[in-house]
Chains A and B, each alone.
Chain A
Amino acid sequence: MRLRLRYEKLGKVRFLSHRDVARVLERAVRRAGLPVAYSEGFSPHARLHFGLALSVGHESLAEYLDVDLVPSAPRPAVHEIPDLLSGCLPEGLTATAAVDLVPGTASLQESVTSSTWEFRVAGVPLAPLAAAADELLAADELPVDLTRKGKQVREDLRPLLLDLSTEATSDGVLLLVELGTKPRSVRPAEFLAVLGARCPSPGPEAAACAAARVLRTHQWITHDGVRREPIELAAPSPHAVERAS
C-alpha cells in the first residue's frame, strides 16, 4: 500500500537540507497518525521513499514523497491526508496533494525525467541574459568539467537543457528552464554557472546569476512521448471519471 504526496517548500524552510526535510517529514507522518510501515531487521526504519533532492536554499512548489503504509491498518481518507500532514509541518512546508499508487508504480527516483525551474535574477537587464540564453539553446554541446571520485571528467549538459525562456520582471529577469534528470540531475547552480559564463565579462550578470532565487515549479515524467506529473490532479484518469459517474 503506497501513498504519493506532493508538498511545497517555501520561505525560511528553503534553508533546510534534503536530509533535514526527510527527518521533518518522517516525524510529521508519525504525528499525523498515518500507519507508516517499518522495515524489518535490527534497526527498523520508516519506509519513506524520497524523490529528487532539492539543494539547500532552493524553494519548490512540487516536491514528492512516497510512503508505504501498513496494508491492514485503519487510515485517513486520501483526500484528508494533505491537511492532516500540513498541520504537523512547520511553516513553509505544506502538503498539497496525495494519491494512492497503483501497485507496481515505478519509484520517483526511477520515473521522474525532468524539472521545470524559475530562476529570478535580480538587478540586471534582460538583454545580456536573453543573448546568453539564445547562445545556450543554439549550442550543439555545453561541456562542463567536473571532478568525480577524484578524476576530472567532461560532461555535456546540452542534452539535459530541455527548454529555456527569459522575460523581464520589475527588478530583473525571470528564467523559465526545464532541466533533465537522466542520466543525472543538472543542479540549478550548475546551469546558472554555465549561463553566467556566457554573460558579458566584466559585468554584474555572472554574480547575479549565482545569487539567483531558485524555485522548482514542476517535476515531470516523460514516457513514450507523453509528459505528465507524478501526481496528476487536473486531468483525472478516465477510470476515476467512470467510477464517479
Chain B
Amino acid sequence: MTVHEGPSGAATIWDRLEPLLPRVQRPARYIGGEDGSGTPDWTQRVPGGPVAWLLSYPDTYEIGLPNQGLQILRELLNERPDAVAERAYAPWVDLEAELRAAGLPLFSVESHRPAAAFDLLAFNLSAELTYTNLLNMIDLAGVPVRSAERSAAHPLVVVGGHCTYNPEPVADFVDLVVLGDGEEVVGEITEVVRAWKAGGRDRREDVLRALCTVPGVYVPSAYEVTYEAERLVAVTPRWPEAPELVEKRTIADLAEWPYPREQLVPLTEVVHDRLNVEVFRGCTRGCRFCQAGMITRPVRERPADQVRTMVQEGLRRTGYDEVALTSLSTADFSGIAEVVGGLVDGNGQGDACGQVSVSLPSLRVDAFGVGIAAELQKGRRTGLTFAPEAGTWRMRQVINKLIREEDLYGAVEAAYSQGWRRVKLYFLTGLPTETDEDTLGIAELARNCVELGRTHQRSPSVTVSVGGFVPKPFTPFQWFGQNTVVELQRKIHLLREDVKRHRGVQMKWHDPRATLAEGLLSRGDRRLGPVVEEVWRRGGTFQEWSECFRLDLWEEAMAAHGLSVDWYVHRHRAEDEVLPWAHLSAGLHQDFLWQDWQDALAEVGLPDCRWTPCYDCGACTGYGIEHIVASATPPAGGSQGTGQVLPGAVPVELGRRTETVAS
C-alpha cells in the first residue's frame, strides 16, 4: 500500500479509504471531483505554511454541498496567497463505522487529507439538530471535542451560520464563533492565524486572544457565565481583548461580492441541484417568527445586470438547465421584472442554454408572483408553493405576515387558471396567542383554495404543510414560551380531523417531538453543553433525519444533568431577563424587539421599511449602512404582504451613502 505524501507533508488517506467505499451506500459522495473544485495549491510560500481551512457541513454531502455560504468562502480563501480551503461533510453512519474500525479520520473531499492536517475546522451551523454531528465530526477528526482540552497542535474549531446567533449550547466545543456575513472576516481570521503560525504556533490562548479583537468574532472561552440559582445573570469578558458586546459582520454591497464565481457542480445528486444566484441578502418584511429576516438586515440587492451576467455565465459554465434566483423573498427583488424579462428573452441567444428553467424558491402570495412564475416556467407546471404561515388575518397580524385572504385566493386562482395542478401551502402552528379558531382557519383557507381550483381543474389538490413554531433568538418572539408537544399534537389532530372531511386537501406535518429538541437548543445556554455531548456519546447523530431522531436521548440527558425541559422550552421570558445571547448583537435594538413583541400581542402590523420611513431597528443605523435596491421602483403590486399600497417611486435613497461597514 502506498501513502502519498502531500506537498505540505500531510498524507492523503485515499488509498486506505478506497477499499471501504464499495461497502457503503452512495460512495460517490466521498470522492470529490466536482466541476469547479480541484485541489488548492498547498505549496504557497508562506512562513509556517498557508493557513488551511477545512470548510465543513455537519450533515451529509447531499445536504451540505449546495450550501452557498461555504462555497463563497471556499473561493475567497483559495484566492488568497496565504490560504487554502477544502471541504468536508458528515460521513453517513455506514462509512463512519468503517472509518472508526479502520482507524481512519474525517477527511477532505478534494485531496482526502485528514481533517487534523488543517489549521481551522470551520462548520456552517444552519440547523440546531446538527449539533451532535458537529461533535461527531470533531471527534472523527481526532480532535478533543471540548475546546478546553485542545493544545496548540490541534486545529481551531470555528462555527458560523444562522444558528451561531445563539452558540451557547455548543460554546464548550468551539474555539471561535463568527457572527454575520463571512466574506470579509475569513480573511481577517486568516491573517491572525498566519501570524500565529509564523511565530511558532505557541500557546493556544495567544491566538484566541488575538482573534477576540477581530470584529464579528466571538471566543466563548473568553467569557465567564454567572448564574444565580437557575437564572443566568451575566456573561462577562475574562480577557481585556474580549469585547463586552460582539457585533455581527455585514457586507455593505453585494455587488462587490459576485460569488460563487464557479459554483460547484456535483457529480452525484444533491438537494437544490441547480445554478443558484443570490439576488439579495436581508429582508425587511419584518415577519416576527422569521430569524433569517431579522438577523440579515438590511436589504442589499445585487444590481440587475450583475444578476443577469451571473446567470448567463453560470449556465454556460456549469451546463445546468435550471437556475434559482435566491433570497428570502425573491419576488420582492426590485429588479425582478428586468431580470426575468432578460432571462426569458435571452433564451436561445446563440448559447447552448436554450432549455433553461428559472425557479424562485420563495413565491410571493399574490397574482403578481404567480405571473412571474408563469413567465419563467413555460414548460411543466405541476406544483406551486405559497407560505401564508397562519390561518386567520388576526393571527397574520400577530406574526406580521400581512397577507389578505384575497391575496392568497388571487394567487391560487391565477395558479390553477394558468395550468398548475397542485398548490402547497406552508403554515406554522403554536404561534403566540393562537386560538383553535386560528388553527382551524388553516383548514378553511385550504378548503377555499380547492373550491377555487374546481372552476379550472377537474381534481385540484392542495397540500397543507404544518410546522411547529420554534421561537428564535433576535426575533420579537424570543420571549415567547414554545407550545408543548402535547399542545402541538392536539392542534395537528384538530386540523387533521377537519381536513379529513374534505376531498382535495392533503396534510403533512413536522414531528412536534423534533420541534421540542430544536426549541431546547434554539434558546439554550451553556448548561446544555453536557446534554449535547451526552446525546452524541449515546449515538444520537443525524438528529435532523426522522429515522435517526431520538427524543428519549435528549430527555434522558436533560434529566441526568438536572435540567428542566419545561424551563428552557415552554417558559415565557420576562423583559428584564438576561438572555443567553445578550452579549452578542445582530444589530437590532433590544427595545425595538421588545416593542415589536408588544405590538404582536396587540395585533398591530409593522410596514416594510424599504418603502416607508425608518423605525430604527438598529440594523442600518448601528453600522452606518443602508438598504441598497436595484431599481428605483418597487416591484408591481408594491410591498404586498405588508399591508402597504405603494404606487410610484420608492421613498428611499438609492445606492451607497456611506463608505464602509463600521468596524
Contacts and interface: CB of A to CB of B under 8 A. Distances in A.
Contact of A27 (B33, B269, B320, B380): B320
B379 A42 contact: yes
Contact of A13 (B19, B267, B318, B321): B267
A19 B269 contact: yes
A152 interface: no
B353 A30 contact: yes
- Interface of chain B: mostly helix, strand, loop or mixed: loop
A57 B352 contact: no
Contacts of A23: 269
A13 B316 contact: no
Contacts of A16: 28, 31, 267-268
A42 B377 CA distance: 10
Nearest to A122: B19
Contact of A90 (B21, B22, B35): B35
A13 B33 CA distance: 8
B317 interface: yes
Given A16-B28, A20-B268, A28 B379 contact: no
Given A30-B321, A31-B317, A44-B379, A12 B269 contact: no
A27 B27 contact: no
Given A15-B28, A24-B267, A92 B33 contact: yes
Given A13-B267, A20-B269, A31 B32 contact: no
A55 to B, nearest CB: 10
Interface residues of B, number: 29
A147 B571 CA distance: 56
A20 B316 contact: no
22 contacts: A13-B33, A15-B27, A15-B28, A15-B30, A16-B28, A17-B26, A17-B28, A19-B269, A20-B268, A23-B269, A27-B35, A27-B319, A30-B321, A31-B316, A31-B318, A34-B352, A38-B354, A42-B381, A56-B22, A56-B28, A91-B33, A211-B19
A23 B320 CA distance: 10
Interface string B352-390: 111100000000000000000000000111000000000
A28 B355 contact: no
B399 interface: no
A44 B379 CA distance: 8
Interface string A58-91: 0000000000000000000000000000001011
Given A15-B28, A57-B21, 6 more contacts: A27-B318, A38-B354, A42-B379, A42-B380, A43-B379, A211-B22
B265 interface: yes
A33 interface: yes
A19 B316 CA distance: 22
Interface string A20-55: 100110111111111100100011101000000000
B22 A57 contact: yes
A38 B355 CA distance: 8
Nearest to A36: B352
Contacts of A88: 319
Nearest to A28: B319
A238 to B, nearest CB: 36
A57 B18 CA distance: 10
A17 B268 contact: yes
B634 to A, nearest CB: 34
B158 to A, nearest CB: 29
Nearest to A20: B268
A170 to B, nearest CB: 14
A211 B19 CA distance: 9
Nearest to A42: B380
Contacts of A32: 352
B267 A44 contact: no
B28 A30 contact: no
A12 B26 CA distance: 13
Contacts, number: 71
Given A30-B352, A57-B21, A20 B28 contact: yes
Interface in B305-324: 316-321
A56 B31 CA distance: 13
Contacts of B21: 15, 57
The 4 residue pairs across chains A and B that have the minimum distance between CB atoms: A27-B319, A31-B319, A43-B380, A15-B27
Interface of B: 19, 21-22, 26-28, 30-35, 265, 267-269, 316-321, 352-355, 379-381
B267 A90 contact: yes
B269 A30 contact: no
Contacts of A26: 319
Contacts of B317: 31
B352 A31 contact: yes
Contacts of A56: 22, 27-28
Contacts of A42: 379-381
Which has the most chain B C-beta neighbours within 10 Å: A31, A32, A38? A31
A193 to B, nearest CB: 14
A30 B380 contact: no
A90 B265 CA distance: 10
Contacts of A92: 33
Contacts of B32: 12
A92 B32 CA distance: 12
Nearest to B30: A15
A27 B268 contact: no
Interface in A105-149: none
Nearest to A12: B31
Which has the most chain A C-beta neighbours within 10 Å: B28, B318, B380? B28
Contact of B27 (A30, A34, A43, A57): A57
Contacts of A44: 355, 379
A42 B265 CA distance: 26
B315 to A, nearest CB: 9
B96 to A, nearest CB: 17
B36 to A, nearest CB: 10
B31 A13 contact: yes
Which has the most chain B C-beta neighbours within 10 Å: A26, A30, A57, A90? A30
Contacts of B34: 90
Contacts of B27: 15, 56-57
B120 to A, nearest CB: 26
Nearest to A27: B319
B61 to A, nearest CB: 12
B374 to A, nearest CB: 14
A20 B28 CA distance: 9
A41 B206 CA distance: 65
B66 to A, nearest CB: 15
Nearest to B29: A15
Contacts of A17: 26, 28, 268
Nearest to A189: B22
B352 A20 contact: no
Nearest to A210: B22
B275 to A, nearest CB: 11
Contact of B352 (A12, A15, A33, A43): A33
A30 B356 CA distance: 11
Contacts of B321: 30
Contacts of A19: 269
Contact of B33 (A31, A35, A90): A90
A27 B265 contact: yes
Contacts of B268: 16-17, 20
Contacts of B320: 27
Nearest to A21: B267
A13 to B, nearest CB: 6
Interface string A184-228: 000000000000000000000000000100000000000000000
